[in-house]
Amino acid sequence: MVLSRPIPPDIIREIVNELPFNRTFLLQSSTISRAFAFVCQCRLFETVGIGSSKGRERCQQLHRLLTDSPHLARLIHNLTLQNRAIKISTLYGGQERAEWFLVEATLPLLLDMLPALKSVQLKSSTIATYWSDLPHELQTSLLRVFSLPSLTAIGFSDIIAPANVLSHSANLAKLDLHHSKIVDGMEGWSSSSLIGDEAVKPPLQILSARYGMPSLRVLKSALDITRLREFILADEPNCDQHMAELLRCSRESLERFTWVQPHICVHTCDPNSALTSHLRFLEVIFQGFLVDEPSSPLTWTLHALRALSTCRTGSVDLEELTIRTTVSWVRAMLTYQSTSWATFDAILGEQDVFVKLRHVRIVLYGLHDYRNDFDISKTYIEGDMSRIGDLGILSIENAHRPFAEHHNSD
């Protein structure tokens, strides 16, 4: 197609990027003009996922494509690789199961072709994948990817890896761990694939640990966490230890803290896990059934906020507090005549302390039709938090969906 007047490239980019991702639309739009073709290619290849049941075939296809069209490799910025056991043919005509990460020869070659990656996610959809089980060539290629100047984010899901591998990413800013372990040292691991001898400590800014949090000692051996700005801790049984240690270590830089605790806490949350006065956003998500118990996330939040209001040298920076819980938990508070919401109101209502507070958000969800329960709970909370309500910064929301669905979507 020939246009009578060329459209400026920035306008084309805005048009393509504003529309929802649609592969058919992008392929069709790429035929309009050369300028449209380049912008559509950027959108098509920006994020690539390979796995899991057809991971081996997709890996081979992408390798062939980039071999024929090497200019496309630079357009891939976000890569997700998902490992899974597949059936492979044996030398004797039979079949056996093997993880495709371990048997696909083009995977290291493909990784070596990608010069501009910004984020890499390694996932395992069956059992945990151990770094030491990866072929030497794949370890080397992954470490080369981790050392790219453009790479700022690494994600592991069901991956067991040594802390040393993180030191190869000098510009690592975000680490996302899900059911994964970062272990100490290289004992028992293949170290021959490590690139160089000098290890750096990337200045991590965002740490998300879901269902498994490495010890602070292990983290500090590979990463600089003194400049951490955001910390997300989800469903961690040893929450008291990890929260206290990391909050203390990053107290001068931490701005956002999210604690997802969908089950009853096994360990008592340390009330001395004081939040930093620089914290701007605090979110607590839980489905508890214990009211005013030391292990209650709400009780911990009260202790932490009270510590902010009493151990301060001036006003604190907290701008937004979000609490997500179930209607059944709120009704339990009402049944046992808990005074937690009123205590929240008293602490947060100290305007000379929380002068920057602009939103207190309470999100309630349930398992079935709970409209009546929500209305009762809302009235109850509003009555106990009248001071915050009068300031016009309190909102109580009906999530309209089960807790488990919300938690899984985060």
**Tens-binned pLDDT, residue by residue, of the chain (410 aa):** 555 666 677 777 776 777 776 677 776 666 666 667 777 777 888 899 998 678 888 999 999 999 999 999 999 999 999 987 766 665 555 555 667 888 889 999 999 999 999 999 999 976 888 998 899 999 999 999 999 999 999 999 999 999 989 989 999 999 999 999 999 864 445 444 454 444 578 999 999 998 888 888 888 889 999 999 999 988 766 666 677 788 888 888 999 999 887 555 544 455 455 678 889 999 988 765 544 454 566 777 888 888 777 765 567 899 999 998 877 766 666 655 555 788 889 989 876 888 899 999 998 887 555 667 788 888 888 999 999 999 999 999 987 654 444 444 44
Number of domains in the chain: 3
Sheet holding 181-183, edge to edge: 129-130, 159-162, 181-183
Beta-bridge mates of residue 396: 362
How far apart (Å, rounded) are the C-alpha atoms in residues 129 and 84? 9
Paired tokens of 254: 């931490």
Same domain, yes or no: 327 and 394: yes
How far apart (Å, rounded) are the C-alpha atoms in residues 288 and 328? 9
Phi, psi for residue 135 in degrees, rounded to 5:
-60, 150
Same domain, yes or no: 321 and 385: yes
Do 205 and 227 contact (CB within 8 A), yes or no?
A: yes
pLDDT at 192: 46
Q: Taking the CA atoms of 387, 389, 394 and 397 in sequence, report the sign of the dihedral they define.
A: positive
Same domain, yes or no: 253 and 397: yes
Q: Which residues contact 320 (CB under 8 A, 6 or more apart)?
A: 280, 281, 282, 357, 358, 359, 360, 361
pLDDT digits (tens, 9 = 90+) for 156-211: 999 999 998 998 999 999 999 999 999 986 444 544 445 444 457 899 999 999 88
pLDDT at 369: 56
How far apart (Å, rounded) are the C-alpha atoms in residues 77 and 144? 15
Residue 194 covered by a domain:
no
Q: What DSSP state is assigned to residue 224?
A: B
Do 113 and 133 contact (CB within 8 A), yes or no?
A: no
Prediction pTM value: 0.83
Do 165 and 184 contact (CB within 8 A), yes or no?
A: no
How far apart (Å, rounded) are the C-alpha atoms in residues 23 and 25? 6
Same domain, yes or no: 280 and 403: yes
Same domain, yes or no: 260 and 165: no
Q: Which residues contact 329 (CB under 8 A, 6 or more apart)?
A: 286, 287, 288, 289, 291
Residue 23 covered by a domain:
yes
Same domain, yes or no: 149 and 51: yes
Same domain, yes or no: 403 and 356: yes
Same domain, yes or no: 119 and 130: yes
How far apart (Å, rounded) are the C-alpha atoms in residues 136 and 108? 10
Same domain, yes or no: 9 and 102: no
Domain boundary among 210, 225, 240: 225
**HSE-CB of 382 using CA atoms within 13 angstroms:** 11
Same domain, yes or no: 29 and 74: no
| Sequence letter at residue 381 | I
User: What is the domain extent for residue 5?
Assistant: 1-45
Same domain, yes or no: 343 and 409: yes
How far apart (Å, rounded) are the C-alpha atoms in residues 351 and 183? 45
Residue 193 covered by a domain:
no
pLDDT at 261: 75
Paired tokens of 287: 């489905």
Same domain, yes or no: 128 and 159: yes
